[in-house]
Chain A
Amino acid sequence: MTHHRRTSVTRAVASTLVIGLTALGLAACSGSDGDDAPGSTADAGSPEGTDDGTTLTLWTRAPLEKQANLLVDAYNASHENQVELTIVPNDDYVAKVGAAAGSGGLPDLFAADIVYVPNWVEQGLFQDVTGRIDQLDYADEINPGHLEAGTYEDAEYVLPFVLDVSVLFYNKDLYEQAGLDPEAGPTSLTEFAEQAKAVDELGGGVDGTFFGGNCGGCLVFTWFPMVWAADQDVMNAEGTESLLASDTAKDVYATFKDLVDSDAVGAGTRDETGATWVAPFQEGKIGVMPYPATLLSTADETVDVGVAPIPGPDGGGSTFVGGDGIGISKDSEKTDQAWNFLSWLMSEDAQVEVLAKNGDVVSRADLTDNEYSSADPRVVTINEAAASGRTPVARNFQQAFNAPDSPWLTLVRNAVFGDASSIDADNDEITAVLSQ
């Protein structure tokens, strides 16, 4: 009896020690820093990479789920290599990538919101693919905004995964009911405000417009183009100084302050943290609002959508060329196979037969006119907007604009929901963060 008990105790101690040591090993792993240099692969491999039945892992964030699924399914169906896709909620993506980067556990391929790409490239999360990109026949046709964001010290690390541009969506049915021309969207912010108010007059749960009033990223995506449309910049070229207190920018804030004050915005605008900022339009309750073009096919299911470029205060038009860039991670040992996915992604098969077919913007200038885009004039509008759009580049972009406690959000909220007296001081606060 005693003997029996002792052995079981010994066994318990031994197994506990094993468990403990395993956990210790894990802890040691996650504690290691990720400063091992990314493999230099700038000039290796064939233009197509290797297709030998390897399993690749790919991470992307939830807003681009639809496009990512379409692309991965099409690739898996036509290749030996198989891509395993992991979709991560938008808010958790940076934390997840950061933790994986620290422990050397990044997937073979991962996409990143293009505004984070400059910082992530600088931190060495991606492998250098300059040589491989140069081997592509159509290297010069790839969207320059995304390539530039992924360039650090003259080396290129990132290709465009899915382009997402912001355009005005308007509800044609509501426009007709409000006595507006359903075939012509607003051409200036003044018209935008007038038409929003006209739709708002309809009442019955319908509102003029909507925006993510507590969502820095949404506001960047939808309001920066209004400043660019007037040929004004939002930051200096280095991304270290904010220019968001210009007269143009103040006109933009004033337009929305007027809409808020006259109650032409949807319920919850002020509190919208970005989780549901696209929902009210899809429910058919909103007249006109700047919207991500990637959601055209989704919104089309419930609403008769009209599309127009985002105008400036006095006309013009521009867009935020956002979306995600994609690269091969520093931790991947399957560089040739991962490149096979990237080179296919840039091919006509992926760009036209997957993305354009779904109504998305293509990443190559030579493919903007294709059989699918010509069928839908709205896609032509979106493609034209993408050509004249911009991608802002700043190292501290997330902290200055996207974070929930960002100074940009403070500026907008003071300017639109407050008394608009502190725009200049708030703008200095953005500069302080950008120049850190």
Chain B
Amino acid sequence: MSVQSAPSSSRRTGHQLPPTGDAGTRRRSGDAPRRRRPGRAQSARGWAYAAPTAVFVLVFFVLPVLLVGQMSASDWPLLAGNQGVNFPENFEDAVNHRFFWDSIVFTLKYTVIATVLLIGLGLGFALLVQESSRWKSFLRTAILVPSALGLASASLLFYALYSPQVGPISPFLERLGLVDEPVSFLGSPDGALWSTVFLIVWRFAGFYMLLLMVGLQGIPHEVYEAARMDGASRWQTFSRVTVPLLRPSLALCTILCVTGSLLAFDQFYILTKGGPDNSTITVVQLIYNVAFQGQNDLGVAAALSIIVLGALVLINVAQVRGMRAPEEK
């Protein structure tokens, strides 16, 4: 951890310090670094550099969030527009929706399955393509190619593959003698869940492999050499050297994966539409259904969105804390 954070921090301070030879000594002796007070022109330039980002954040994040906040506190039917304040009722309706708890339980279940599989397989693939030299580039490309496909396109592809009418997988399995009758991939709650998980693993494993590969390549060879000289076994090297030094990459992947899975929508919208029998409704799907598929109530949908936003913030804060290296705590 310290290996990686050191160069960036020195770069940052080095830029601000005057290029005098005694700067380093003074800092080491505990004095506050002497910074040149920025002049007005420089401060204006600083604002100018930050302004584009600030404007974009304001326009494309802060304002929409405020609008959603207003919606969540208003009676706001899709077709009729804002009908005035409806504050606690929207949230009561949201929590009392007949699929509210079902969707939360399902989303959490899906998140756990997807995260464990994706991080596990991603790490496995990353180690695999690092170890084997002969098939390295072929494997790497093969695993990464699905990531080039959009999630919606990938979902449509699997919709066709799973289709009981035109899908080739079921007849193939029948011919192999693995099953006796046509398999209905999306026909049962468990089947629909695992079929979707399979799609997601196929689509995203390469992406996480790439992230973890970059992390693996950041680990210095000397550490492995030292471990080998100390007579560490393969497993010991992995669990005592690789995993701790990979911590930042693992944290990044976990946060991406958990957040992405909690917000899952496209794949379920296309593959299952929340079915069969409302068994695969994710939280975002529920928001979409409330807003556009029948109830057409943007107020309640916005209330659900605010609840999800709050939950995501909490979960991410908890994850960032939990993933911090021990010495940073």
Contact = CB atoms under 8 A, between A and B. Distances in A.
A16 B55 contact: yes
Given A13-B52, A101-B79, A266-B165, A405 B293 contact: yes
Contact of A123 (B60, B63, B80, B273): B80
A20 B59 contact: yes
Contacts of B164: 267-268, 271
A316 B67 CA distance: 54
A268 B191 CA distance: 14
Nearest to B103: A405
B51 A13 contact: yes
B67 A31 contact: yes
Nearest to B192: A271
Interface stretch (B108-116, B182-190, B313-321): B182-190
A98 B296 contact: yes
Contacts of A12: 48, 52
A270 B184 contact: yes
Interface residues of B, number: 42
B52 A273 contact: no
Interface residues of A, number: 49
B296 A273 contact: no
B209 to A, nearest CB: 32
B106 interface: no
Interface in A1-37: 6, 9-10, 12-13, 16-17, 20, 23-24, 27, 31-35
Contacts of B184: 267-268, 270-271
Interface in A369-402: 396, 398-400, 402
Contacts of B48: 9-10, 12-13
Nearest to A97: B79
Main secondary structure of the interface of B (DSSP, over half): loop
Contact of B58 (A20, A396, A406, A413): A20
10 contacts: A24-B59, A33-B81, A35-B81, A124-B80, A214-B276, A271-B164, A271-B275, A271-B276, A402-B294, A404-B274
Given A271-B275, A400-B294, 18 more contacts: A13-B51, A16-B55, A16-B56, A27-B63, A32-B81, A33-B81, A95-B292, A97-B79, A98-B292, A98-B296, A101-B78, A123-B77, A267-B182, A270-B276, A273-B273, A280-B165, A399-B294, A403-B294
Q: Which 10 A-B pairs have the closest CB atoms?
A: A33-B81, A399-B294, A268-B164, A403-B294, A98-B78, A95-B292, A123-B79, A267-B164, A20-B55, A33-B82
A340 interface: no
B92 interface: no
B45 interface: yes
A13 B296 CA distance: 40
B136 to A, nearest CB: 41
A16 B63 contact: no
A94 B273 contact: no
A12 B47 CA distance: 12
Contacts of A270: 184, 187, 276
B292 A405 contact: no
B296 A398 contact: yes
Contact of B78 (A20, A23, A102): A102
Contacts of B79: 34, 97-98, 101-102, 119-120, 123, 125
